[in-house]
Each structure stands twice: as structure tokens, then as C-alpha cells.
């Protein structure tokens, strides 16, 4: 987000739905957000068992970066993209860049929080769709110091029923909603 706007792959040039999902994902990754109780949470353990073919704790994550199931690989990654991903992974791990990274990461995270707050206010905390609604909620929670009672977090939580509700035949989710303040 700190790239100049004229840059060919500035996030602001992305389709709006990609951009508003990328924004909180970038924030959560950049802030190194983790669920501290994931190791002992039975729901997380159940999901890990259901979603992964091998024990979650034995997966060599650094080797999975460019793996795509053949049936999902509509457009194979070009060599340039693979090299760029490998370079960025090395950049992330080198401590020599740490002071530079920390300074710019702090500025970037601040921008992300401000941008998400602007979207929240403009849409009355509905946001553009259910995916970024959930991600903005988690980001707001983290930015508020994991305070579930923070005003922003509470405003987000009050709007969840706009997307989720229980009907006679089960839980429903609406994809989009308008914002009529």
C-alpha cells in the first residue's frame, strides 16, 4: 500500500472486491496476527484434521508456497512470479533488513487500519461483502489490542446479522447488502 499510485501493480488498481479483501489480509499478515489458543482449541484441531491430509504440525509450510492442485491450476505460475515469491520469502527472513522493514511495516499497518476504518464508516460497518466484513472485524479486534469491547469491534459485531441469520431450514448467509444510513 505504500507503493506510488502509478506503480503497475499497486493494490489500488485491483478490482474493488480483491482490494478490500487484500487490505485486511495484508494487515493481518503484516502484524503477524495469530490466534494464541489455536493449539488447544478443539474446534481448530477438528478443522485441521478435516482440512489437511497429514498432521498439521508436520507440514513443511515453506515448501508449499507454490503448490496448486492440478484441477485448480487454470493458469500456471510464470517463472518470474515463482522467483519473486522466493525472493520475498528470503527478504522476510533476513534480519539485515529488519530496521528498514519495521519502519515501513509500521507505516503500512497504520495506513491499512485507517483505510479499513474509512470503509467501515462509509458503509456503516456493513463493508462491501461478507468476506472482507469478517476480515475487517478480526483486523479491528487486533488493532484495538484484542479488546472485544472496543467501540469499533462492537459496531462490527452489531452488523453481523445483516449477513447471517437462522431460517427455518438452517443458517443462511447473504452475499451483499446495501448501506442505508
74 assigned to some structural domain = no
178 assigned to some structural domain = no
Name the least confident of 18-22, 129-133, 173-177.
173-177
CATH number at residue 165: 1.50.10.20
> What domain range is 17 assigned to?
11-56+81-173
The kind and range of the H/E element at 170 are strand 170-173
71 assigned to some structural domain = no
Q: At what angle do helices 151-158 and 130-143 cross, to 10 degrees?
A: 160
To which residue does cell 520469502 refer? 89
At residue 123, the pLDDT reads 93
Determine whether 75 is exposed, middle or buried from the number of CB atoms within 10 Å of its CB (0-12, 13-18, 19+): exposed
Residue 127: other Cβ atoms inside 10 A? 26
72 assigned to some structural domain = no
3-class state of residue 167 by DSSP = strand
- Distance between first and last Cα of the chain: 29
Rg (CA), the chain: 19
Contact 133, 163 (CB under 8 A): yes
State the average pLDDT for the chain: 90
- What is the mean predicted confidence (pLDDT) over 144-148? 95
Query: For residue 98, what are the CA distances in angstroms to 1, 84, 95, 111?
Result: 19, 19, 5, 20
168 assigned to some structural domain = yes
29 assigned to some structural domain = yes
At residue 95, the pLDDT reads 81
Nearest to 165 by CA among 130, 121, 138, 139: 130
142 assigned to some structural domain = yes
Domain count, the chain: 1
User: Which pLDDT tens digit goes with each residue over 127-143?
Assistant: 988 999 999 999 999 99
CA-CA distance, 1 to 11, in Å (whole number)? 6
Contact 46, 30 (CB under 8 A): no
87 assigned to some structural domain = yes
At residue 177, the pLDDT reads 62
Amino acid at each position: 500500500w505504500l507503493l506510488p499510485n502509478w506503480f503497475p501493480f499497486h493494490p489500488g488498481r485491483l478490482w474493488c472486491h480483491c482490494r478490500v479483501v487484500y487490505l485486511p489480509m495484508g494487515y493481518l499478515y503484516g502484524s503477524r496476527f495469530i490466534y494464541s489458543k489455536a493449539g488447544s482449541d478443539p474446534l481448530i484441531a477438528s478443522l485441521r484434521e478435516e482440512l489437511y491430509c497429514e498432521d498439521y504440525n508436520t507440514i513443511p509450510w515453506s515448501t508449499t508456497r507454490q503448490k496448486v492442485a492440478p484441477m485448480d491450476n487454470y493458469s500456471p505460475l510464470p517463472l518470474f512470479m515463482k522467483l519473486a515469491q522466493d525472493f520475498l520469502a528470503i527478504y522476510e527472513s533476513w534480519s539485515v533488513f529488519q530496521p528498514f522493514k519495521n519502519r515501513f511495516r509500521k507505516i503500512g499497518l497504520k495506513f491499512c487500519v485507517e483505510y479499513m476504518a474509512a470503509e467501515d464508516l462509509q458503509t456503516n460497518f456493513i463493508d462491501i461483502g461478507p468476506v472482507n466484513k469478517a476480515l475487517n472485524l478480526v483486523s479491528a479486534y487486533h488493532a484495538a489490542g484484542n479488546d472485544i469491547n472496543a467501540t469499533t469491534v462492537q459496531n462490527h459485531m452489531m452488523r453481523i446479522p445483516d449477513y447471517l441469520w437462522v431460517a427455518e431450514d438452517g443458517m443462511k448467509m447473504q452475499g451483499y447488502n446495501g448501506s442505508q444510513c
